[in-house]
Structure 1
C-alpha cells in the first residue's frame, strides 16, 4: 500500500502542476489507451480483470477525468470488496 501511495504522489506531482490544456491532453491520451481495450475479446479482458462494461464506462468519462486512473480505482475497489462478497459476510 505504501508503494501505491508513493507512486500516486509522484504521479499527482507530475500532473498537478500542469496547465488545464496539458491535463486535458493527458486525459485524452488516457482515454485512447482505454479505448484500445475495447478491441480485446471478453476472455482477454477477463484475464486482465476488466469487464467490457468497465471499459465502456471509463471511455465515456469526461475529459477532466483520467480514464486509466478512474478504471484502476474502480478495479481496486472491486478487488478489495470481492472477498467479502464470496463469503457472504458484509
Structure 2
C-alpha cells in the first residue's frame, strides 16, 4: 500500500519495491499496489505507477488499484485481481 498523498516518500517506496522485485526468493510472485487516499487530493493511480516505475517490472504480473481505506472503497478490486490470478 502506498500513500498517494506523500510525494516525498515515493522514491523510498520505489526503492523498497524494486528491492523486493530483485529478491530471488520472491521470483514470480505477483505484486498488488494499492494507491491509498484517493478520496483526498493526491497523485493519481497513473502518477503513482510512473513514480514507482512499474513499467520496468516485466518478470511477473502486477496491478495497481486505487483505494480509500478510510471509506472502505476500492480495496476489494485489488484483492479480487489477486484472488483471480492465484486461482
Same fold (TM > 0.5) = no
Which structure has more relative contact order (CA 8 Å, sep 6+)? It is 2
Task: Give the structure with the larger strand fraction.
Answer: 2
TM-score band, normalised by shorter chain = 0.3 to 0.5
